[in-house]
Structure 1
Amino acid sequence: MRPAPLLLVLLLAWAALGGVVLAGALPRWSWALVATVIGTLALLDLWRQARRPSPQVQRELPEALALGVRREVGLRLQTTEPMRVQVFDLVPGGWPLESLPQCVQLRPGHACALHYTLQPQQRGRFRFEGVQLRIRSPWRLWWQQRTLPPLLDVRVYPNFVPLTRFALFSADQASRLVGAHVKRRRGEGTDFHQMREYRVGDSLRQLDWKATARARKLISREYQDEKNQQLLLMLDSGRRMLASEGGLSHFDHALNASLVVAYLALRQGDAAGLFAVGGERRWVQPQRGMGTVEHLLRASYDLQPQPVATDYLAAATEVSLRQRRRALVMLVSNVRDEDIEDLLAAVRLLQRRHLVCVASLREHELDGALEGEVHTLEDAAQAGAAALYLQQRTKAHEALRSEKVMVLDVTADALPAALVERYLAVKREGLL
């Protein structure tokens, strides 16, 4: 319970009255009388406030939220007595809020609805601990703070909003939405689809001469990309993925990009799975069907990168035991020179059965590290360290390429497009 401004004003007036009494303008008993009146009113108001029933509060919010996506939350308040309240929701994680706190006047028989927006900053399971109200007393002398239910558990998933948008487009159109450059081909692929009349632009390889002779017109064979192939996304959840850019960790960027390419693979009729390595391990067996997206989200929503070294060879051994069918294995990490020996051993093991692609995340700061002007010894030291780091990074990538591994050296924001382009290129070239 805290004094309201009105009570503070009364106390200041009482103190000023004391100065008048000391000056002899008023009798001393008048000062005591005013003190008694103010104290009595304050105690009565305090007693009345303590007996007042709390408003009823309902929160309107889905139990599934998306990382980094603003969401509107509704609060509905009802009361049996008129009262003035300040409303603040106990949002978990210190997430950014807009339009809170709010001060509203409640009236009996009328529900008061107010809204605010929040933006989840971490994935996982979180709890709203209740709604905090500051209620003004009937005579406006006190503010009382009360914390009321409802408690609410919510799950914050990786950003699935782009996936819902992709559902409105074809697989090629969705690929372009993430920035991938799709090379259109007509009638080419590895699986026979149908016979049709020749069209301008068809290659001579597509012509079926026997069918052409029978029909007495040019007939082309039309092929399509092979379906029901396997895609396994290996995500490094170790210390290399703790770096942050754009308000998200590298692991979050990798997870969001992996969900995009998995969604497009499922749209193409392929099976997609997930294997998180480094920290806590999670395995989702590659499966077909759009329901797999939900499995991937549920398996990864509370997965966090850990400050531990990733054992690439142990992870590759587990993949070899679990994934018996040939697959495109996309490993997303931040490759460093000191990890290369273990990583090379891992990719050699994987390549016995699978096609391997390594996406190595690059920090944005590195792109401009060598372009800045050097004025001080500290600037020179930083530029030299950046140059050495980039040289070692390039050396590690070349070592992987020498083993015929597909290597993507990309920044976090370019990762979704890079993964999608590589996946489509593998499909187009029939490498699986």
Structure 2
Amino acid sequence: MPVPTRRTLLLFTAGMLLALGPSLGLSWLWAAWLAYCAALIVLVGVDMLHAPPRSKLRVELDAPETLYIGEPAAARLELNFGRPIPTPVRVLLDLPGLFEPAPAYEGECPPAGLEVRFDLHAKRRGNATIESVWVRYPGPLGLIAWNVRREVERRIAVAPNILPARRMALRCAQDRHFYAGLKIERYRGDGSEFDSLRDFTVGDELRTVHWRATGRHRRVLSQQFRAERNHQVVVALDAGRLMSEPFVGDVPRLDRAVAAALVLGFVSLKSGDRCGLFAFADRVRAWRKPVSGMAGFRALQQQTALIDYSRAETNFTLGLTSLTRKLSRRSLVVVLTDFVDSIAAELMVENLGRLARKHVVVFVTLRDPLLAAWAHAVPQDVLSLNRAITAASFQRERQTVLRRLERMGLHTIDAEPDRIGPEIINRYLDIKRREQI
């Protein structure tokens, strides 16, 4: 429907000044005021008649069918009125609640049409529909503006972020040295599984000499070993209330953990191990038995897409006890979770200790960058001083819990959200090289 613009309101306000004339004894201004109003109404009517008709507006939206959480994507919108628009148009994409609001576009519309690019930033996983586009354009005189809504009905699936795993796959495919180091060379000489024979060199231990092969080939040959493969790796994801909350300006913690879990799944499957997935909150939310081979990565990806956000508190006793019952052999268990203080973490620590008696446990928490910034900021007033003291107190309690877990035999990782993936991979490779599983 048409609405008056700011220019119309200013002209109407100027006409009201003429209406004050008769009250000051200038009765002849009545005729001037009536003529002014009539002229303004005529101009508004002319502006409405010469504005581009709404029926001529054509809108096409090109948006990706799948968008990965934490990764921006672009939506391209094409507008065409069939004729030039002399004044700026304003375009707004009506985004659902899963996305951050996109700023409106305002600019000229050329005769050939207008192409607008909107950046899409998903806040949470799920399925969403971009239902409509709002276009506001004025008439040639700028007195009347039309607000037009066009339905586009574009469905978008916001999926777990597998792009870090894809980048890892491309690195493996393009960098032969990285691929070799990941599968064999990184562990060669440190393990107990026979790999190959090579000529004995100065510095090799005598226990590595293969005497039977030496006699057969009539030269001293040394055995080369590598770390054992076909281990069982299980990623345990906390999907409770705290993990469903985002950091300031970031995606939910759970989605950061899912992205790191997929990277670990890819690397472990690529290196010959088996990888499984377990998710829990107030109850068990997902369980995927360890799979092997790169074909199993697809199964892990599909399983992570089914893990929903939860408002319930995490039951570590139920979750970790259920996981222990599901594991029939010694495994590397990577627990991705978070906690606020040592009191809330008491049950978590107790159940992690039980799990570590039978398995190798890597405890991973996501460090809040804002909390660290507050703790190290120079106080400027009383409020910032109290904030710094509170943040430092939380950090000390966090370190106390981590040191306690390390004394219980667990491996701990406390890193910022964008660093947990590389930190987990480095710790996994180190554990594998040392054959601690």
Question: Shorter chain as normaliser: what TM range?
Answer: 0.7 to 0.9
In structure 2, C-alpha distance between the alignment counterparts of 1:313 and 1:367, rounded to whole Å: 30
CA RMSD of aligned residues (A): 4.3
Alpha-carbon shift at residue 15 of structure 1 (Å):
5.0
Is 2:248–2:370's contact at 8 Å kept on the other side of the alignment? no
Number of residue equivalences = 425
Is there any run of 5+ residues in structure 2 with no aligned partner, and where?
Answer: none
Map 1:169-248; keep pairs closer than 5 Å.
Answer: 169-170=171-172, 184-198=186-200, 204-241=206-243, 242=245, 244=247, 247-248=250-251
Q: Secondary structure of 1:420's partner? A: helix
Alpha-carbon shift at residue 148 of structure 1 (Å):
0.8
In structure 2, C-alpha distance between the alignment counterparts of 1:150 and 1:201, rounded to whole Å: 72
Give CA deviations for 1:184-243 in whole Å, capped at 9, x if unaligned.
453443433333444677655543222122222232333344333322111222244346
Q: Normalization by structure 1: what TM-score?
A: 0.79
Give CA deviations for 1:262-288 in whole Å, capped at 9, x if unaligned.
222122132323222225723333323
| Among 304, 316, 321, the residue aligned to 1:317 | 321
Which amino acid is 1:284 matched to?
Answer: R
Which amino acid is 1:2 matched to?
Answer: V
Is residue 2:423 matched to residue 1:421? no
Is there any run of 5+ residues in structure 1 with no aligned partner, and where?
Answer: none
Q: Secondary structure of 2:362's partner? A: strand
Q: Normalization by structure 2: what TM-score?
A: 0.78
Give CA deviations for 1:2-49 in whole Å, capped at 9, x if unaligned.
213554465466556667899879785565345334324534654676
| Among 74, 77, 81, the residue aligned to 1:75 | 77
Match of 1:3 in 2: 4
Which amino acid is 2:355 matched to?
Answer: L
Alpha-carbon shift at residue 314 of structure 1 (Å):
0.9
In structure 2, C-alpha distance between the alignment counterparts of 1:192 and 1:105, rounded to whole Å: 70
Q: 1:125 to 1:385 in 2, by over 3 A?
A: same
Give CA deviations for 1:79-103 in whole Å, capped at 9, x if unaligned.
34444532221233462646x4132
Q: 1:135 to 1:376 in 2, by over 3 A?
A: closer
In structure 1, C-alpha distance between the alignment counterparts of 2:385 and 2:306, rounded to whole Å: 42
Alpha-carbon shift at residue 261 of structure 1 (Å):
1.8
Alpha-carbon shift at residue 62 of structure 1 (Å):
0.9
Is 2:362–2:412's contact at 8 Å kept on the other side of the alignment? yes
Is 1:231–1:272's contact at 8 Å kept on the other side of the alignment? yes
Is 1:96–1:120's contact at 8 Å kept on the other side of the alignment? no
Is 1:273–1:285's contact at 8 Å kept on the other side of the alignment? yes
Give CA deviations for 1:312-344 in whole Å, capped at 9, x if unaligned.
121123223444344211112235533555335
Match of 2:265 in 1: 262
Match of 1:88 in 2: 92
Q: 1:156 to 1:279 in 2, by over 3 A?
A: farther
Which amino acid is 2:421 matched to?
Answer: P
Alpha-carbon shift at residue 74 of structure 1 (Å):
0.9
Q: 1:344 to 1:49 in 2, by over 3 A?
A: same
Q: Secondary structure of 1:210's partner? A: helix
Q: 1:184 to 1:268 in 2, by over 3 A?
A: closer
Is 1:198–1:219's contact at 8 Å kept on the other side of the alignment? yes
Which amino acid is 1:169 matched to?
Answer: R
Is 1:157–1:302's contact at 8 Å kept on the other side of the alignment? no
Match of 1:285 in 2: 289
Q: 1:364 to 1:202 in 2, by over 3 A?
A: farther
Is 1:362–1:410's contact at 8 Å kept on the other side of the alignment? yes
Alpha-carbon shift at residue 395 of structure 1 (Å):
4.8
Which amino acid is 1:430 matched to?
Answer: E
Map 1:363-378; keep pairs closer than 5 Å.
Answer: 363-364=368-369
Is 1:265–1:272's contact at 8 Å kept on the other side of the alignment? yes
Q: Secondary structure of 2:171's partner? A: coil
Is 1:57–1:75's contact at 8 Å kept on the other side of the alignment? yes
Give CA deviations for 1:118-163 in whole Å, capped at 9, x if unaligned.
3333333333231110122365431111121212222333443332
The answer to which of 414-423 and 299-308 deviates more is 299-308
Q: 1:324 to 1:59 in 2, by over 3 A?
A: farther
Q: 1:174 to 1:365 in 2, by over 3 A?
A: farther
Q: 1:200 to 1:420 in 2, by over 3 A?
A: farther
Is 1:397–1:407's contact at 8 Å kept on the other side of the alignment? yes
| Among 140, 161, 164, the residue aligned to 1:162 | 164
Identity over aligned residues, as a percent?
26
Q: 1:26 to 1:105 in 2, by over 3 A?
A: farther
Is 1:238–1:308's contact at 8 Å kept on the other side of the alignment? yes
Is 1:171–1:267's contact at 8 Å kept on the other side of the alignment? no
Q: Secondary structure of 1:309's partner? A: coil
